[in-house]
Structures are given as structure tokens and as C-alpha cells.
Amino acid sequence: MHQLYMILSGVAIAGAYVPFVVGTLRGPIVPNRATWLSWFVLDCLMAASGIASNIGPSVIMPIIWGVGAAIMLWLAFTKGSRDPFTILEKTCLVMSGVGILLWATVGSPRLAMIASVSACAIGGIPTLIKAWKQPWTESMAGWLLMITGSIFSSLAVEVWTFDSGFLPITMGVYQTIVTIPLVREWARTTRRSSL
């Protein structure tokens, strides 16, 4: 059953990129360059690490994230904002870079995991803020599918420990915080159009 949940998680996460890509190409989705740059680097490192460590089928998750992040990074730089990076974005890029560096160099697997998940969350701060300030520039369907992927990923955990639960719980919380203003905006827009 755990393998099925892992497959469903991969399908949901891969599917999440479809509304992100389509929404960016057609508008009004505007991916944040700093966030997707951080996520692309981290996802590629995680995929490379998983392949090198021969972790088996679970390597599919970071590979899906890496391919999706590569597409979104390209779209962020070609279709996204042309404004210079803000101080917040630069700060998040630097802090995420420090987390990635710690992840790559620390000797403890637990500290490496905490550093990588922290780098991912810090890199996502610009998108989180944008979602609350300009919810129409994010894809509600994409983020709901990401949450679904995190739920299935959590269900795939066979034995719950800090190490096995930290990533799916942290990412699920982050994704939920990003999605709340998108759902609120959708409800507000739906209510207005029905009047």
C-alpha cells in the first residue's frame, strides 16, 4: 500500500506542474524567479544525491520536482517579472544557498535533511508573500495538487519518526499556507460573479 501512495504522490506532484505551466503561458500566473531558482538547484541536488545513493523508486520524487522546477525556472525568467531581484528575494536566495551548502557538506544525515528542507522553505518565502499579496498570480489548482502529493507522500511513510515525517509535514504546511489566500480569492471571485 505504501508503494501505491508513493506513486499517487508522484502523479499528483507531476500533475501540479500542468496548471502552473499553462497558467504561466496563458496568464495570469507569474512564477517568482528567486523561489524557482532555489527550488531548481535544491531539487537537482536531491535527485543527484538519490541516484548516487541508489535509494530506489523513491528517487522519482526529486526527479519529478527537478524537471518541474526546471520548466518553471525557465518560465519564471522568460514570462515572469523583469524587475530586479528585491532585497527580500536576494536575502532568501543567499539564505537558501547557505542551507544548500550545509546540506551538501554536513556529516549528519539529520542535519543535512533539516538544512535542505529549510533551504526549500526559505527559498519559497517570496512565493508565499506573493500568494498573500497577489493571489491571482498563483495557481490554486497547482497548489492543491501539491498538497495532495504531500498527503499521499505522508501516507507512504511506513514508520513515523522525525526523519521520515519532517519533509512531508513541513512541505504540506508550507503548501497549505500558500494555498489559503488562493482559495479565499477564488471564493471571493466566485461570490462576486454569482451576484
pLDDT of residue 40: 93
Set of cell numbers at residue 134 = 497577489
All residue ranges of the chain with pLDDT < 70 are 50, 53-59
Residue type, 12: A
| 58, 13 contact by CB (below 8 A) | no
- pTM here? 0.90
pLDDT of residue 56: 60
Cα 183 to Cα 187: distance, rounded to the nearest angstrom: 6
DSSP H or E stretch at residue 86: none
Residue type, 108: S
